[in-house]
Chains A and B, each alone.
Chain A
Amino acid sequence: MIHAGLTHFLVISVALFSLGIYGVITRKNAVMVLMGIELILNSANINFIAFARFGNFGLQGQIIALFIIVLAAAEAAIALAIVLNIYKNLSNINVDEMDSLKD
C-alpha cells in the first residue's frame, strides 16, 4: 500500500482547481459558475490542509481551511441571492448576457 504523500494531494487539488476554472469560464448558467467557484475554493482548502499535514506550519493551514468553508457558505448565500435578483430583472441567469458594466 502506497501512502498518500504531499504530491498526491496537490495533484488532486490542481485537478479540482482546473475543473473549477473550466466550469467558471465555460458555463452560461450563473449557478453553474458558482459551483465552479466552490470547486476552486475547495481545491485551495485541500492545498492548505495538505501543507498543514506535511509541512512544518502547525495548525494554521487547517484553521484557514475552516475560515474558507465558512466564507464559501456565506458567499454562496449572497451569490445565490444576487442570482435570484438577476433572474427577477432579466428573466434568465445567463452570465454572458450580464455585460452592462461594459458601458
Chain B
Amino acid sequence: MTENLMINIAVIILFLPFLGFVVTLLLGSKIKKIYYFENFVLFLGLAGSIIIAFGKLTSFDATTITSEFTWINLGNTPIMGEIKINLGILIDNISTLMMVVVMLISFLVHIFSIEYMRGDPRYNRYFAYLGLFTFSMSGIVLTHNILMMYIFWELVGVSSYLLIGFWFEKKSAADAGKKAFIVNRIGDIGMFIGILILFTTYHTFTFDDIFQQISQGHLPFDSGFWLTITGLLIFAGAIGKSAQVPLHVWLPDAMEGPTPVSALIHAATMVAAGVYLVVRIFGILTADAMLIIAVIGALSAFIPATIALTQNDIKKVLAYSTVSQLGYMIMALGVGAFKFAFFHLITHAFFKACLFLGSGSVIHAMHHEQDIRNMGGLRKKMPITYYTFLIASVAISGVPLTSGFLSKDGILAGSYAFANLTGHYLFPIVGFFVAMLTAFYMFRLIILTFHGEPRDKEKYEHAHESKFTMAMPLVVLSVLSIFFWYTPNPVNPEDGWVLSDWIKAPQLYTPENTRYEFMVPDEHTNVQPGSEEIMYSETYVEAMHAIHIPAMILSLLIAGLGILLAYLFYQWKRIDVGKLVEKFKGLYNFSFNKWYFDEAYDATAVNGTLGLSRLLGRFDLKIIDGIVNGTAYITKGFSTFIGKFDNVVVDGLVNFMAYLSGFIGLVFRRFQTGKVQTYLVFVLVSVVILLFIFKSF
C-alpha cells in the first residue's frame, strides 16, 4: 500500500459521512428508506478506516504520512512576511487507531439506532445528524493543522448541539443543547486564543511546523512561561469538549438526547476529542502545564465519581462516570502516562459505548423509564443486555482479563511512578480512590437495574430483550472490552501490540529546562524521531517497572473492595443504605446535588451575565434610546419651526405677490374698456402729460 493510496482513502472516508449527511438530509422527507444509505456509507467508512489502520500499522512502522494543499495564500503580508494557510491530512498510528474507534462506534450506533429510534417523526434527519457528527469527528482526527482542527472542533459542537436537542419539543432537551454549546464555547475561547498565539509566533497552523520551530528553541514571546500559557489555553478547549471540571456541567444534562447519541458523542468520540487534542499537542506541554492538566484531570476524576454514587438516573450515572474516566485520561497525560492515556481512550470508548447502548436497550425495553429505583430483576428478561453490560462494567471497574484493567492499571501505575519521581502523591491516591468509587457505583447500577426483585411490576412485565440490530452492537462492543484484542498477556499490557507497536512514545519538543527531570533523555536513551524504544528516559522506565506489580495488586484489591461494598450495600443488604444516608445526610445531599455546581454557576455566571445584560438593556433603553429619541424630538421641533416659517413667511410672500397682482389687475382692468374713444382720450392725456414732462427739450 502506497502513501498516496492511504491519503486518498483517508480523504474519501473523511467525506463519506458528509455525503451521507447531505443526501440523507435532502432526500429524507422524500425517501423513507434513505437511512440505509447513511448506514451503508458508514460501513464503507469503517472498512476504509480499518484498511488505513491495517496499512499504516503494518507497512509504515514509524513514519507519519501527511499531505497538504494551500488553502489560502496571503502572499507577502506587511508584518508577518510570507503566509500560507495549508490544510491537510495527517496519518499516523494515533490518528488511524482513533479513526477506527470513531468509525466503528459510529457504525454500531447507526445500527443500534435503526431499532431504537424507529417511529420517530424525524427519523431520517436523525441519521443525517449522525453523519454530520461523524464527518466532523473524522476531521478532528485526520487533520494535520490546528486551524482545521478548530473548524471541525466547532462542527462537532454544532452537531452535538443538534443531536442533544434532537427532541427539542422537550424544553429540557432544548436547554441541554444550548447549555452544551455555550459551555463548550467558554473552553473554545481559550483554545482560540492559544491558536492565535501559536500563529502569531510561528506564522503557521501546521502541527509539525510549529513543533519543529519549538524544538529549535523558538518560543512564544521567547519565554517558557508563555509556552506553558499557550499549552494551557489550548488545553482549555479540551476542558470544554472533554467535560473536565469546572466545565463538566454540560455532559450530564446532555443525556437529554437520544441514548445512542449519548453512546456516540458523550462516551466514545466527542468527549474523547479533548483528550485527542491533548495527545496531539503533548510534545509542547511544559512541566508546569502538565501539572495543571494533571490537577484538573484528578479533580475531574474525583468530583464526578462522588456524584455518580448517589444518582438514580441510569444515564446520569454513566454520564458522571464518563467525566470521571475522561478525568483519568487527562490526569494520565498530565503525569506523562501518554501511552496509557490513549490506550484508555480506546478501551473506554468501547466499554462506555457498550454501557450506554446497554442502558439504551434497558430504557427502550422499559418504555423510556430511566430511574433505576423503578427497575430491578431485568437480568432474566434481558440476558444479552445484562451480560454485555456486566462485561463492560467489569471492564470499567478494572477487573483482570478486561481491557479496562489493562489501561486503568497503566494509568494508576503511571501516576504512582510520577509520584515516586516528583513527590506529588495526591495523584495516585485520588486515582486509586476513584477506582474504588468506580467499581462501587458501577455495581450499584448493575445490582439495582438487573438483580433482585422488580420494583415496578407493570413495566417489568412489558420488558423484553431487544431485537438483533440492537443486541448485535452490544455484543461486538462487549467482546472488544476483553483483553485479547490488545495483548496476549492479560496482566501486562506492555507485552501487547497496542502499547509496544501501535502507540509510540511521544516526541517531545519543549526545551529541556522546562520539562520534568524524568522526561529529559538520559545518555543511553534513544532519541531518534518516531522510533523511541524507551519512554522519555531510563529513569522513567525503571520507575514504571518498579511500580508495575505493586500498583496492579493495589488496583485489584481496590476494585474488589468497591465491588464487594456494592454487593454488601445493595445485593446482600448487609448494610442498611437508608441509615447510612441518614447518618451522612450532609455528604449525601452534597453528592446528590452534584456539588451544587449548577447552582453555583446559576448564581454567579448565569445570573451575572443576565444581570449585566439587563443593565446593558436598561442602558440601551434609557441612554441610547434617550439620545435617539432626543435627537428625534429636536429634529421634530426644528421641522415644526421650519414648517411654520414655510407656511407663514414663504407662503405669505407668495400669496402676497399673487394678491398684489390680482389687486393691480383689478385696478387696471377698469382702463380696459374696449372702446376706441376711451383709449384715444388716454393717449391724448398721456401725450399732454409727456409734453409737460419733456417741455424743456
Contacts and interface: CB of A to CB of B under 8 A. Distances in A.
Interface of A: 21, 24-26, 33, 95-96, 98-103
B578 interface: no
Contacts of A21: 680, 684
B677 A24 contact: yes
A99 B675 contact: yes
Contacts of A103: 674
Contacts of B680: 21, 24-25
B672 interface: yes
A24 B675 CA distance: 12
Majority-rule SS of A interface residues: helix
Contacts of A101: 674
Interface string B676-693: 110011001000000000
Contact of A96 (B672, B677, B681, B684): B677
A24 B683 CA distance: 13
B673 interface: yes
B684 A98 contact: no
B674 A25 contact: no
A95 B674 contact: no
Interface residues of B, number: 9
Given A98-B675, A99-B675, 8 more contacts: A25-B681, A25-B684, A26-B677, A33-B676, A96-B675, A98-B674, A100-B674, A102-B675
A41 to B, nearest CB: 15
Contacts of A99: 673-675
A95 B676 contact: yes
8 contacts: A21-B684, A24-B677, A33-B676, A33-B677, A99-B673, A99-B675, A102-B672, A103-B674
B674 A102 contact: yes
Contacts of B684: 21, 25
Nearest to B677: A25
B32 to A, nearest CB: 92
A27 to B, nearest CB: 9
Contacts of A100: 674
B673 A102 contact: yes
A42 B611 CA distance: 113
A26 B681 CA distance: 10
A6 B357 CA distance: 146
A102 B674 CA distance: 4
A98 B674 CA distance: 7
Nearest to A100: B674
Interface string B495-538: 00000000000000000000000000000000000000000000
Contacts of A95: 675-677
A25 B684 CA distance: 10
A96 B673 CA distance: 10
A33 B674 CA distance: 16
A26 B673 CA distance: 16
A20 to B, nearest CB: 11
Nearest to B676: A95
Interface string B654-685: 00000000000000000011111100110010
Nearest to A103: B674
A98 B676 contact: yes
A58 to B, nearest CB: 25
Which 5 pairs, one residue from A and one from B, show the smallest C-beta to C-beta distance? A102-B674, A99-B674, A101-B674, A99-B675, A25-B677
A103 B675 CA distance: 11
A97 B674 CA distance: 9
Contacts of A26: 677
